[in-house]
Structure 1
């Protein structure tokens, strides 16, 4: 009897990590896979362990690599590894560049995978649209990476490290990920829920009209990860792939807020248009890092959800206060 495939989600207690676990758990019976996660700051909350009762969890320090040996011994060499762990708040990265580099460049993870004799894992690495300079619209994967902040620089360094060391990987440059809350709610602020919360109180708020992104619905990111994983598990063909993973719409922060207001029926006069140049966020932010996602659609046959539909799906899960 063929053994089950092993899927390891690094940073599995975070926002994307929990959605990835949900996606794999829903297809678990058909793809015959065992699931494990790593965590660092906090152990997996009871709600997460209840939702995924067969899930194994491991405490891992990405800076030192401590904890990976326990995965080898208890879980075994993974067939697919999805690295969702990161210091992803640009201002925090700017304040501590050494920490950003030590966590965001997954050297301990890659070195552990290379040390496994029986393993030929597919590594799916989450990168960011912030690797681009932000000087034009609709960046393609082969455009030059000229990050303007430490977060972007750490992710470029991660991409280069993986490309040099690994023979089987997919790097996904994600835009702002939005969608419903997770099984075990994460403490960080979620973009659509935050906008909804501010506008629901009737407070006037400022939103940038000149900073553009291609926000991506979380379940579309999961769909891309599942498609890559299934392909590797079924045909065993190694890949060296780099994909932009954004939504189909180039939107400003102002447009994001206007969409939430329109769907919820809030007064549009609460939304004040301002330039990003008027606010000092303690970190340089690229102006336009919208992405061309043609390669994603063609390679994985994933059709990302429109921004408006994604917002509608997100808000349908939130109780209006």
Structure 2
């Protein structure tokens, strides 16, 4: 049986590394040929050692430099998963040109359009920040009226993909949380940061009036793999779908911190409730972009991990991470 060729764009990022790990495990090697792209060089040795059978390709999403090498050396992919993004809203606000040129994947879409069969599935990671944030539990068909540059770049990306791609799955992801990656990332991971700051015993401020549906990273990986598997077994090779990819709980930052405190036994009185409007973060942030995930659950027959269970799994794994040599 011919193997399915999969390219992970942005394979060195948080979600990208987890998707690579999933393909590396559970006999993925028998069914899939996997390659990944990276923007930063050189690649960490730990990452290359973790995925020795997956070729890595340098890629500049702004210019599209690097796509030709993938076609020549790896071949035309059956599935492309796009995890690459400039995803810090404040950074996008400061550099809107970069946000638009990276987050709206024109070069990637142009590359896919050169394929003869045009039967490549693009799984694209979007965001809950495409919604305006003026109500609870947004549905996929609700209007996308982003309030910041990051959200606007992601709305533009969705429009481009719907216009130009024959086959796609767009996943509107919320805050992604979970254990550290194989090749540790320099940025603060949300649960680990909350745990470390509460552990110090100092009072810390959290917003009580901004709501999201954080998703456990391994659930997002399962969603991605399920879409890939569905694509592989389908005969007609047609998919055009947008899914809210959030967890089952609508939570403020205060509520998230309270769950971390509960799981870890930290003092709840350290959690100081403040309004998001009291802090200038250099970017407008939507108030309530909680999502209705009924379509996700029904379409892919999955039951996402509760926030509390995800926090427990994350922190248990961090403890192991520190014990292991």
- Give the TM bin, normalised by the shorter chain: over 0.9
Contact 2:100 2:153 survives alignment (8 Å): yes
Relative to the length of structure 2, the TM-score reads 0.96
Contact 1:77 1:118 survives alignment (8 Å): no
Matched ranges for 1:162-241 at <5 A: 162-236=161-235, 237-241=237-241
- Secondary structure of the 1:213 match is coil
1:83 aligns with 2:91: no
Paired residue for 2:312? 312
Residues 48 and 199 of structure 1: CA distance in aligned 2, closer, same or farther (over 3 Å)? same
TM-superposed CA distance for 1:44, in Å, is 2.7
Root-mean-square deviation (CA, aligned residues, Å) is: 1.3
Matched ranges for 1:1-321 at <5 A: 2-29=1-28, 32-118=31-117, 120-236=119-235, 237-319=237-319
Q: Distance in 2 between matches of 1:90 and 1:183?
A: 25
Paired residues, number: 320
Contact 1:78 1:119 survives alignment (8 Å): no
For structure 2, list consecutive stretches of 5 or more residues without a partner in the other structure: none
Q: Distance in 2 between matches of 1:255 and 1:139?
A: 20
Contact 1:77 1:119 survives alignment (8 Å): no
List per-residue Cα deviations over 1:189-219 (Å, max 9, x = no partner).
Answer: 1100110111111121000000100000000
Q: Distance in 1 between matches of 2:27 and 2:79?
A: 14
TM-superposed CA distance for 1:317, in Å, is 1.0
Q: Distance in 2 between matches of 1:266 and 1:228?
A: 39
Q: Distance in 2 between matches of 1:142 and 1:136?
A: 14
Q: Which moved more, 1:210-219 or 1:37-46?
A: 37-46
TM-superposed CA distance for 1:301, in Å, is 0.8
Q: Distance in 2 between matches of 1:188 and 1:124?
A: 25
Relative to the length of structure 1, the TM-score reads 0.97
Residues 302 and 43 of structure 1: CA distance in aligned 2, closer, same or farther (over 3 Å)? farther
- Secondary structure of the 1:18 match is helix
Q: Which moved more, 1:136-145 or 1:18-27?
A: 18-27
Q: Distance in 1 between matches of 2:154 and 2:315?
A: 31
TM-superposed CA distance for 1:4, in Å, is 1.2
Extract structure 1 runs of 4+ deviating beyond 6 A.
none
Q: Which moved more, 1:210-219 or 1:20-29?
A: 20-29
Contact 2:23 2:29 survives alignment (8 Å): no
Q: Distance in 2 between matches of 1:282 and 1:5?
A: 44
Q: Which moved more, 1:88-97 or 1:235-244?
A: 235-244
Contact 2:132 2:147 survives alignment (8 Å): yes
Q: Which moved more, 1:169-178 or 1:115-124?
A: 115-124
- Secondary structure of the 1:251 match is coil
TM-superposed CA distance for 1:119, in Å, is 5.0
